[in-house]
Amino acid sequence: MTRVLIVEDEDHLAAGLKLNLEAEGYAADVDDTGEAALERLVDGGAAANAFDVVLLDVMLPGLDGFEVVRRLREARQFVPVMLLTARSHTDDVLRGFEAGADDYLPKPFDLSILLARIRGLLRRRRWLRGNDAGQAAEADEYSFAGRHVDFRNQVLRRDRAEQPLTLMEATLLRYLVQHAGETVSRRTLLEEVWGVRQDTDTRTVDNFVARLRRYIEAEPAQPRHLLTVRGVGYRFVVEPGE
Ligand code: CA
């Protein structure tokens, strides 16, 4: 059963979400502070990995949602996190992704939209792990130019250093690797990787590419693998000069 952790300080909202998710066949728990969620997800022992998705409100008493997701990632807790934001300012969205969130949803939202986005997150994780029903098993690992990516465990190894990847980082890298040598547009990446079809600021893509470059490029400012195609998007190149 899919297990969702709701981190929301407004009681009626948390209770309503829990009720609706349970009606849809999910198991749901509620924490009303970021501190409580961190205690559960980081220090909770075996129970820390009991959740498939975390719905994390940004505006919380004490630690806010940005700080909570940042601390989760710092503690190498990579459960998919969807931020629930009161505003959908681009700055907030980028800040959330930068902190390590996997998706965001502006409040107020329709339940049907929330459910679709949760399904999207779960689908992305299955795709990343290559065990989507009916889908040919794909390699869980990929090596290029001395870098080794373990998609299942969301980690990139380079010169014995280990860089954990968020779900979004790993999904974007996997998509680029699968389309190596092809130019892919920002719009296509938003649709295929983020599952976003409405008009969204494509700077989110640039922001993530910059992060991946820091992980995989010897000189991120002079990329040799993850190239910018001016006015279009990006191209992943396995062997520079190809
Ligand atoms: Ca709140």
How many angstroms is it from 177 CA to the middle of ligand 1? Answer: 38
Please compute the mean of the pLDDT values over residues 63-76 and round it to a whole number. 94
Residue 84 in tokens:
């629930």
Q: Residue 4's beta-bridge partner residues?
A: 28, 53
pLDDT of residue 65: 97
How many angstroms is it from 225 CA to the middle of ligand 1? Answer: 41
Best CA proximity match to 152, nearest among 142, 162, 143: 142
Task: Work out the burial of residue 128: count CB atoms within 10 Å of its CB; fewer than 13 is exposed, 13-18 middle, 19 or more buried.
Answer: buried
pLDDT of residue 136: 41
Structural domains present in the chain: 3-128 (3.40.50.2300), 137-236 (1.10.10.10)
137 pLDDT more than 70: no
pLDDT of residue 88: 65
How many angstroms is it from 117 CA to the middle of ligand 1? Answer: 20
Report the C-alpha gap between 212 and 214 in whole angstroms. 5
Residue 176 backbone phi and psi in degrees, to 5: -65, -40
134 pLDDT more than 50: no
How many angstroms is it from 8 CA to the middle of ligand 1? Answer: 6
How many angstroms is it from 118 CA to the middle of ligand 1? Answer: 19
The CA radius of gyration of the chain, in Å to the nearest whole number, is 18
How many angstroms is it from 106 CA to the middle of ligand 1? Answer: 12
199 pLDDT more than 80: no
How many angstroms is it from 13 CA to the middle of ligand 1? Answer: 9
How many angstroms is it from 9 CA to the middle of ligand 1? Answer: 5
Report the C-alpha gap between 116 and 197 in whole angstroms. 13
How many angstroms is it from 7 CA to the middle of ligand 1? Answer: 9
How many angstroms is it from 32 CA to the middle of ligand 1? Answer: 9
The model's pTM is 0.78
Q: Which DSSP string do the residues of 127-193 spell out, in sequence order?
A: HHTT--TTSPP--SEEEETTEEEETTTTEEEETTEEEE--HHHHHHHHHHHHTTTSEEEHHHHIIII
Residue 51 in tokens:
């959740």
Residue 8 backbone phi and psi in degrees, to 5: -155, 130
Write the CB contacts of 232 (distance below 8 Å, at least 6 apart in sequence). 183, 185, 186
Confidence tier at 197 by pLDDT (50, 70, 90): low
How many angstroms is it from 90 CA to the middle of ligand 1? Answer: 19
Q: Picking from 22-26, 35-39, 120-124, 211-215, which range would have the lowest pLDDT averaged per residue? A: 120-124
How high is the mean pLDDT of the chain? 88
Q: Picking from 37-41, 92-96, 98-102, 144-148, which range would have the lowest pLDDT averaged per residue? A: 92-96
Best CA proximity match to 115, nearest among 187, 17, 227, 10: 17
89 pLDDT more than 80: no
How many angstroms is it from 77 CA to the middle of ligand 1? Answer: 22
pLDDT of residue 156: 94
How many angstroms is it from 10 CA to the middle of ligand 1? Answer: 6
How many angstroms is it from 51 CA to the middle of ligand 1? Answer: 21
Write the CB contacts of 33 (distance below 8 Å, at least 6 apart in sequence). 7, 9, 60, 61, 62, 63
Q: ω into residue 108 within 30 of 0, thus cis? A: yes
How many angstroms is it from 57 CA to the middle of ligand 1? Answer: 6
